[in-house]
Structure 1
Amino acid sequence: MPDDLLRHVVGPQPYASWWLWLAIALTVALVAFYAAVFLLTGPGRGGRELPLLGAARERRLRQRSARAVRRIGERYRAGELAAAPAGTAASHELRRFLHLATGVPAEYLQVSDLADSEIASAAPVLEQFVDIQFNSASEADVARVLRDAEELILSWT
Protein backbone atom coordinates (compact mmCIF):
# COMPACT_ATOMS: atom_id res chain seq x y z
CA MET A 1 0.00 0.00 0.00
CA PRO A 2 1.49 3.29 -0.97
CA ASP A 3 2.17 5.80 1.76
CA ASP A 4 0.18 8.52 0.07
CA LEU A 5 -3.12 6.70 0.89
CA LEU A 6 -2.42 6.70 4.64
CA ARG A 7 -3.57 10.29 4.83
CA HIS A 8 -7.15 9.04 4.19
CA VAL A 9 -7.08 6.61 7.16
CA VAL A 10 -8.12 8.34 10.36
CA GLY A 11 -8.75 7.15 13.90
CA PRO A 12 -12.08 7.11 15.66
CA GLN A 13 -13.76 10.44 16.14
CA PRO A 14 -14.07 11.64 19.75
CA TYR A 15 -17.58 11.74 21.15
CA ALA A 16 -19.22 15.01 21.96
CA SER A 17 -18.79 16.11 25.59
CA TRP A 18 -22.51 16.87 25.97
CA TRP A 19 -23.18 13.10 26.08
CA LEU A 20 -21.12 12.89 29.28
CA TRP A 21 -23.03 15.79 30.85
CA LEU A 22 -26.34 14.28 29.80
CA ALA A 23 -25.42 10.96 31.43
CA ILE A 24 -24.37 12.71 34.64
CA ALA A 25 -27.58 14.77 34.74
CA LEU A 26 -29.78 11.71 34.16
CA THR A 27 -27.96 9.77 36.89
CA VAL A 28 -28.37 12.61 39.37
CA ALA A 29 -32.06 12.97 38.44
CA LEU A 30 -32.63 9.23 38.92
CA VAL A 31 -30.95 9.19 42.34
CA ALA A 32 -32.92 12.30 43.41
CA PHE A 33 -36.18 10.71 42.24
CA TYR A 34 -35.61 7.51 44.23
CA ALA A 35 -34.53 9.50 47.31
CA ALA A 36 -37.69 11.64 47.10
CA VAL A 37 -39.92 8.58 46.69
CA PHE A 38 -38.26 6.89 49.65
CA LEU A 39 -38.48 9.95 51.91
CA LEU A 40 -41.99 10.98 50.98
CA THR A 41 -43.69 7.58 50.95
CA GLY A 42 -41.65 5.45 53.32
CA PRO A 43 -43.02 4.30 56.68
CA GLY A 44 -40.11 5.87 58.56
CA ARG A 45 -39.89 9.32 60.04
CA GLY A 46 -38.62 10.94 56.82
CA GLY A 47 -41.99 12.27 55.69
CA ARG A 48 -42.98 13.39 59.19
CA GLU A 49 -40.27 16.04 59.09
CA LEU A 50 -42.21 17.82 56.37
CA PRO A 51 -45.14 19.37 58.26
CA LEU A 52 -47.76 19.44 55.53
CA LEU A 53 -46.93 16.00 54.15
CA GLY A 54 -46.67 14.45 57.62
CA ALA A 55 -50.05 15.81 58.66
CA ALA A 56 -51.68 14.53 55.47
CA ARG A 57 -50.11 11.11 55.94
CA GLU A 58 -51.25 10.88 59.57
CA ARG A 59 -54.79 11.96 58.67
CA ARG A 60 -54.93 9.36 55.88
CA LEU A 61 -53.60 6.70 58.25
CA ARG A 62 -56.25 7.56 60.86
CA GLN A 63 -59.03 7.48 58.27
CA ARG A 64 -57.89 4.19 56.75
CA SER A 65 -57.53 2.46 60.12
CA ALA A 66 -60.85 3.81 61.42
CA ARG A 67 -62.55 2.65 58.23
CA ALA A 68 -61.07 -0.83 58.67
CA VAL A 69 -62.33 -1.04 62.28
CA ARG A 70 -65.73 0.26 61.15
CA ARG A 71 -65.94 -2.49 58.51
CA ILE A 72 -65.06 -5.09 61.13
CA GLY A 73 -67.89 -3.72 63.29
CA GLU A 74 -70.31 -3.85 60.38
CA ARG A 75 -69.37 -7.44 59.66
CA TYR A 76 -69.81 -8.31 63.34
CA ARG A 77 -73.25 -6.67 63.51
CA ALA A 78 -74.26 -8.42 60.27
CA GLY A 79 -73.36 -11.78 61.81
CA GLU A 80 -70.45 -12.53 59.46
CA LEU A 81 -67.95 -12.50 62.33
CA ALA A 82 -68.22 -13.96 65.81
CA ALA A 83 -66.99 -11.97 68.79
CA ALA A 84 -63.51 -13.52 69.04
CA PRO A 85 -62.56 -13.10 65.34
CA ALA A 86 -63.94 -9.55 65.36
CA GLY A 87 -61.87 -8.74 68.44
CA THR A 88 -58.79 -10.29 66.90
CA ALA A 89 -59.13 -8.37 63.64
CA ALA A 90 -59.85 -5.06 65.35
CA SER A 91 -57.02 -5.55 67.84
CA HIS A 92 -54.63 -6.28 64.99
CA GLU A 93 -55.76 -3.15 63.13
CA LEU A 94 -55.48 -0.96 66.23
CA ARG A 95 -52.02 -2.28 67.04
CA ARG A 96 -50.91 -1.74 63.42
CA PHE A 97 -52.21 1.83 63.56
CA LEU A 98 -50.41 2.52 66.84
CA HIS A 99 -47.18 1.16 65.43
CA LEU A 100 -47.39 3.29 62.29
CA ALA A 101 -48.51 6.41 64.14
CA THR A 102 -46.02 6.32 67.00
CA GLY A 103 -43.25 3.90 66.10
CA VAL A 104 -43.90 1.80 69.21
CA PRO A 105 -43.95 -1.88 68.17
CA ALA A 106 -47.46 -2.38 69.55
CA GLU A 107 -47.99 -5.60 67.59
CA TYR A 108 -45.36 -7.36 69.67
CA LEU A 109 -46.02 -5.95 73.14
CA GLN A 110 -48.22 -7.26 75.92
CA VAL A 111 -50.99 -4.96 77.15
CA SER A 112 -49.15 -4.47 80.45
CA ASP A 113 -46.08 -3.27 78.53
CA LEU A 114 -48.25 -0.95 76.43
CA ALA A 115 -49.64 0.60 79.62
CA ASP A 116 -46.10 1.68 80.54
CA SER A 117 -45.32 3.21 77.14
CA GLU A 118 -46.24 6.41 75.35
CA ILE A 119 -49.40 4.76 73.99
CA ALA A 120 -50.83 3.99 77.43
CA SER A 121 -54.16 5.60 76.51
CA ALA A 122 -54.83 2.70 74.12
CA ALA A 123 -54.22 0.00 76.74
CA PRO A 124 -57.80 -0.13 78.14
CA VAL A 125 -59.28 -0.75 74.68
CA LEU A 126 -56.65 -3.37 73.89
CA GLU A 127 -57.28 -5.02 77.24
CA GLN A 128 -60.96 -5.33 76.36
CA PHE A 129 -60.01 -6.84 73.00
CA VAL A 130 -57.84 -9.41 74.79
CA ASP A 131 -60.81 -10.31 77.00
CA ILE A 132 -63.06 -10.65 73.93
CA GLN A 133 -60.51 -12.78 72.09
CA PHE A 134 -59.52 -15.21 74.81
CA ASN A 135 -62.42 -15.31 77.27
CA SER A 136 -65.37 -17.21 75.88
CA ALA A 137 -67.48 -16.05 78.85
CA SER A 138 -66.63 -12.40 78.31
CA GLU A 139 -69.43 -9.96 79.03
CA ALA A 140 -67.82 -7.10 77.09
CA ASP A 141 -70.03 -5.39 74.54
CA VAL A 142 -68.11 -6.05 71.32
CA ALA A 143 -69.92 -3.38 69.32
CA ARG A 144 -69.15 -0.75 71.97
CA VAL A 145 -65.48 -1.77 72.15
CA LEU A 146 -65.25 -1.54 68.36
CA ARG A 147 -66.76 1.96 68.47
CA ASP A 148 -64.29 2.89 71.23
CA ALA A 149 -61.40 1.66 69.09
CA GLU A 150 -62.65 3.67 66.11
CA GLU A 151 -62.98 6.80 68.27
CA LEU A 152 -59.52 6.23 69.71
CA ILE A 153 -58.02 6.02 66.23
CA LEU A 154 -59.85 9.11 64.97
CA SER A 155 -58.90 11.18 68.01
CA TRP A 156 -55.26 10.05 68.17
CA THR A 157 -52.72 12.89 68.19
Structure 2
Amino acid sequence: MPDDLLRFVGGPSPYWTGWLWLGLALLVFVIAWYAAVFVWTLPSDQLRRLPAVRDIHARLLRRRFAAAVRRTVARHRDGELTAAQAAAAMSRTLRSFLGQATGVRAQYLHLDAIGAGDLAPAAPVLAALDDAQFNNASAVHVDEVGAEAEELIRSWP
Protein backbone atom coordinates (compact mmCIF):
# COMPACT_ATOMS: atom_id res chain seq x y z
CA MET A 1 0.00 0.00 0.00
CA PRO A 2 2.71 2.57 0.75
CA ASP A 3 4.26 1.97 -2.67
CA ASP A 4 0.90 2.72 -4.30
CA LEU A 5 0.63 5.92 -2.28
CA LEU A 6 4.15 7.02 -3.24
CA ARG A 7 3.37 6.39 -6.90
CA PHE A 8 0.14 8.38 -6.55
CA VAL A 9 1.80 11.47 -5.04
CA GLY A 10 4.77 11.29 -7.33
CA GLY A 11 7.33 9.60 -5.13
CA PRO A 12 9.62 11.13 -2.54
CA SER A 13 10.00 14.89 -2.71
CA PRO A 14 13.08 16.09 -4.59
CA TYR A 15 13.23 19.20 -2.38
CA TRP A 16 15.17 19.63 0.83
CA THR A 17 12.76 19.74 3.82
CA GLY A 18 14.77 22.60 5.27
CA TRP A 19 13.14 24.91 2.69
CA LEU A 20 9.76 24.27 4.29
CA TRP A 21 11.09 25.19 7.73
CA LEU A 22 12.94 28.22 6.38
CA GLY A 23 9.76 29.41 4.66
CA LEU A 24 7.73 28.97 7.83
CA ALA A 25 10.38 30.80 9.87
CA LEU A 26 10.35 33.70 7.41
CA LEU A 27 6.56 33.82 7.55
CA VAL A 28 6.62 33.98 11.35
CA PHE A 29 9.31 36.69 11.19
CA VAL A 30 7.26 38.84 8.79
CA ILE A 31 4.13 38.50 10.94
CA ALA A 32 6.11 39.43 14.05
CA TRP A 33 7.66 42.39 12.22
CA TYR A 34 4.26 43.76 11.18
CA ALA A 35 2.90 43.27 14.71
CA ALA A 36 5.91 45.12 16.19
CA VAL A 37 5.54 48.03 13.75
CA PHE A 38 1.82 48.21 14.49
CA VAL A 39 2.39 48.34 18.25
CA TRP A 40 5.35 50.73 17.93
CA THR A 41 3.25 53.27 16.02
CA LEU A 42 0.21 53.20 18.32
CA PRO A 43 -0.57 56.43 20.17
CA SER A 44 0.46 56.59 23.83
CA ASP A 45 -3.11 56.51 25.12
CA GLN A 46 -3.67 53.14 23.43
CA LEU A 47 -0.31 51.79 24.60
CA ARG A 48 -1.20 52.67 28.20
CA ARG A 49 -4.28 50.40 27.88
CA LEU A 50 -2.43 47.32 26.57
CA PRO A 51 -1.42 45.20 29.58
CA ALA A 52 1.49 43.47 27.86
CA VAL A 53 3.01 46.69 26.54
CA ARG A 54 2.14 49.17 29.31
CA ASP A 55 5.24 48.60 31.47
CA ILE A 56 7.66 48.56 28.56
CA HIS A 57 6.14 51.75 27.17
CA ALA A 58 6.38 53.51 30.54
CA ARG A 59 10.01 52.43 30.99
CA LEU A 60 10.96 53.65 27.51
CA LEU A 61 9.18 56.98 28.05
CA ARG A 62 10.96 57.57 31.34
CA ARG A 63 14.34 56.74 29.83
CA ARG A 64 13.81 58.88 26.73
CA PHE A 65 12.58 61.99 28.55
CA ALA A 66 15.15 61.71 31.36
CA ALA A 67 17.87 61.60 28.70
CA ALA A 68 16.40 64.72 27.07
CA VAL A 69 16.60 66.61 30.38
CA ARG A 70 20.17 65.38 30.87
CA ARG A 71 21.13 66.62 27.38
CA THR A 72 19.59 70.02 28.09
CA VAL A 73 21.55 70.37 31.34
CA ALA A 74 24.74 69.37 29.50
CA ARG A 75 24.08 71.95 26.78
CA HIS A 76 23.60 74.60 29.48
CA ARG A 77 26.83 73.55 31.18
CA ASP A 78 28.66 73.77 27.84
CA GLY A 79 27.36 77.31 27.33
CA GLU A 80 25.10 76.51 24.37
CA LEU A 81 21.96 77.54 26.29
CA THR A 82 21.29 80.32 28.74
CA ALA A 83 19.61 79.49 32.03
CA ALA A 84 16.26 80.75 30.69
CA GLN A 85 16.56 78.70 27.50
CA ALA A 86 17.54 75.57 29.41
CA ALA A 87 14.66 76.04 31.86
CA ALA A 88 12.22 76.51 28.98
CA ALA A 89 13.50 73.37 27.25
CA MET A 90 13.27 71.31 30.44
CA SER A 91 9.78 72.63 31.15
CA ARG A 92 8.65 71.60 27.65
CA THR A 93 10.27 68.19 28.10
CA LEU A 94 8.68 67.62 31.51
CA ARG A 95 5.24 68.75 30.33
CA SER A 96 5.52 66.54 27.24
CA PHE A 97 6.50 63.60 29.41
CA LEU A 98 3.51 64.17 31.69
CA GLY A 99 1.23 64.31 28.67
CA GLN A 100 2.63 61.09 27.22
CA ALA A 101 2.71 59.24 30.54
CA THR A 102 -0.70 60.22 31.88
CA GLY A 103 -2.81 61.41 28.98
CA VAL A 104 -3.38 64.78 30.69
CA ARG A 105 -2.52 67.58 28.30
CA ALA A 106 -0.02 69.17 30.67
CA GLN A 107 1.44 71.35 27.92
CA TYR A 108 -1.70 73.51 28.06
CA LEU A 109 -2.33 73.61 31.82
CA HIS A 110 -1.48 76.47 34.13
CA LEU A 111 0.74 75.68 37.07
CA ASP A 112 -2.18 76.04 39.52
CA ALA A 113 -4.20 73.44 37.59
CA ILE A 114 -1.23 71.07 37.58
CA GLY A 115 -0.78 71.50 41.34
CA ALA A 116 -4.46 70.83 42.01
CA GLY A 117 -4.73 67.66 39.94
CA ASP A 118 -3.10 64.28 39.48
CA LEU A 119 0.12 65.94 38.30
CA ALA A 120 0.71 67.67 41.65
CA PRO A 121 4.10 66.00 42.28
CA ALA A 122 5.42 67.84 39.22
CA ALA A 123 4.22 71.29 40.30
CA PRO A 124 7.25 72.28 42.44
CA VAL A 125 9.71 71.36 39.68
CA LEU A 126 7.66 73.19 37.05
CA ALA A 127 7.41 76.23 39.36
CA ALA A 128 11.20 76.29 39.74
CA LEU A 129 11.63 75.96 35.97
CA ASP A 130 9.17 78.82 35.39
CA ASP A 131 11.08 80.96 37.90
CA ALA A 132 14.38 80.23 36.16
CA GLN A 133 12.84 80.94 32.78
CA PHE A 134 11.00 84.19 33.52
CA ASN A 135 12.87 85.74 36.46
CA ASN A 136 16.27 87.21 35.63
CA ALA A 137 17.11 87.48 39.34
CA SER A 138 16.16 83.88 40.05
CA ALA A 139 18.20 81.90 42.54
CA VAL A 140 17.29 78.62 40.82
CA HIS A 141 20.29 76.67 39.54
CA VAL A 142 19.64 74.89 36.27
CA ASP A 143 21.81 71.91 37.23
CA GLU A 144 19.88 71.32 40.44
CA VAL A 145 16.42 71.74 38.94
CA GLY A 146 17.50 69.56 36.02
CA ALA A 147 18.47 66.80 38.45
CA GLU A 148 15.09 67.20 40.17
CA ALA A 149 13.24 67.02 36.85
CA GLU A 150 15.20 63.94 35.81
CA GLU A 151 14.48 62.24 39.14
CA LEU A 152 10.79 63.13 38.87
CA ILE A 153 10.63 61.59 35.41
CA ARG A 154 12.51 58.45 36.45
CA SER A 155 10.33 57.90 39.52
CA TRP A 156 6.98 58.75 37.94
CA PRO A 157 4.44 56.01 38.68
1:76 positional shift: 0.8
Which residue number in structure 2 is paired with residue 62 of structure 1? Answer: 62
Write out per-residue CA displacement over residues 62-102 of structure 1, whole angstroms, 9 at most, x where no aligned residue. Answer: 00000000000011111111100000000000000000000
Q: Which amino acid aligns with 2:137?
A: A
The aligned counterpart of 2:145 is 145
Q: Which TM-score applies when normalising by structure 1?
A: 0.73
- Residue 92 in 1 paired to residue 83 in 2? no
Q: Work out whether residues 44 and 101 of structure 2, in 8 Å CA contact, stay in contact via their aligned partners in 1.
A: no
Aligned to 2:10: none
Q: How many residues align?
A: 125
In 2, Cα distance between equivalents of 1:153 and 1:38: 26
Alignment of 1:68-87 (within 5 A): 68-87=68-87
1:54 deviates by 1.2
SS in 1 for 2:45: coil
Deviations 1:23-71 (A, max 9, x none): xxxxxxxxxx999865653224322232231111110010000000000
SS in 1 for 2:131: helix
Q: Which residue of 2 aligns with 1:135?
A: 135
Identity of aligned residues (%): 49
Give the structure 1 partner of residue 120 of structure 2.
120
Instruction: Compute the TM-score of the two structures, normalised by the length of structure 2.
Output: 0.73
Aligned to 1:47: 47
Gaps of 5+ in 2: 1-32
How many Å separate the matches in 1 of 2:107 and 2:35? 29
Q: Is the 8 A contact 1:88 1:129 kept in 2?
A: yes
Q: CA RMSD in A?
A: 1.9
Is 1:108 the counterpart of 2:102? The answer is no
CA distance in 2, matches of 1:44, 1:148: 24
C-alpha distance 44-57 of structure 1, shift in aligned 2 (>3 A): closer
Taking the aligned partners of 2:47 and 2:89, their CA distance within structure 1 comes to 28
Higher Rg of the two aligned structures: 1
Separation (CA, whole Å) in 1 of partners of 2:129 and 2:107 = 13
Distance 1:152 1:113 in 2: 18
Q: Is the 8 A contact 1:58 1:101 kept in 2?
A: yes
| SS in structure 1 at match of 2:137 | coil
